[in-house]
A and B are shown apart, each in its own frame.
Chain A
Amino acid sequence: DTGVSQNPRHKITKRGQNVTFRCDPISEHNRLYWYRQTLGQGPEFLTYFQNEAQLEKSRLLSDRFSAERPKGSFSTLEIQRTEQGDSAMYLCASSRTPGLESSYEQYFGPGTRLTVT
């Protein structure tokens, strides 16, 4: 399967614990995005990478959240000191770099569902 993969698919953790999610993008895609989605809402942008560089972070991404893409391939999203409000689906997407008067669609992984108890 050459699509975007995410692990784990489900994570249940207790409040205050740290969690880490992994995303493996489509291999030739140099852009990687993280989104968060709560029930009944569309995905909300968190951050994105161009190769290994993290180019933007949403104000939704508090200091407890950190993302890395060390070699420009897979990415990790870590949440420290989890809170119940962090419970959501965390989605990863990848794309080629949009160019002049062209655009490239984002391909999404299946998501990691986080439940904080």
Chain B
Amino acid sequence: DAKTTQPTSMDCAEGRAANLPCNHSTISGNEYVYWYRQIHSQGPQYIIHGLKNNETNEMASLIITEDRKSSTLILPHATLRDTAVYYCIVSDWMDSNYQLIWGAGTKLIIKP
């Protein structure tokens, strides 16, 4: 079973920041937080990941709380092309299989 909880759906206005929350209250010290997204009829796309510190790349920012029990993915200036299902996943780097166990994700709809 997925170890994360996400809202089923969210809306955001184009040009505004989209903030997607994720709860992972049972996360262990070895587990990374990953975010992927899946645009309709395409394969999932990696966005960002982190362990303890906040992370930023060209696509998004990842804010992880100090207790690591929750995180927020931030798309700073959402565009219509950011409409997708966003998945938050925790995965143990010590697990040699390094599986990603996916939930149902958050369907983000960017509105003009």
Contact = CB atoms under 8 A, between A and B. Distances in A.
Interface stretch (B13-21, B38-46, B73-81): B38-46
A1 to B, nearest CB: 13
Q: Which DSSP category, helix, strand, loop or mixed, fits chain B's interface?
A: loop
Contacts of B91: 103
A105 interface: yes
Given A43-B44, A108-B45, A110-B42, A103 B101 contact: no
Contact of A111 (B43, B87, B102, B104): B43
Interface residues of B, number: 22
A107 B42 contact: no
A45 B91 CA distance: 13
B46 A102 contact: no
B99 to A, nearest CB: 5
Interface string B25-49: 0000000101000000011111001
Interface string B82-112: 0000010001010011111111110000000
Given A42-B87, A42-B105, A43-B44, A106 B93 contact: no
Contact of A103 (B42, B44, B98): B98
A42 B102 contact: yes
A109 interface: yes
Interface of B: 2, 32, 34, 42-46, 49, 87, 91, 93, 96-105
Given A103-B91, A106-B46, A108-B46, 19 more contacts: A40-B104, A42-B2, A42-B87, A42-B102, A43-B102, A44-B102, A55-B96, A55-B97, A91-B43, A91-B44, A98-B98, A103-B32, A103-B49, A106-B100, A108-B43, A108-B44, A109-B43, A110-B42, A111-B43
11 contacts: A4-B43, A42-B102, A43-B100, A55-B96, A91-B43, A98-B98, A103-B49, A108-B43, A108-B45, A108-B46, A111-B42
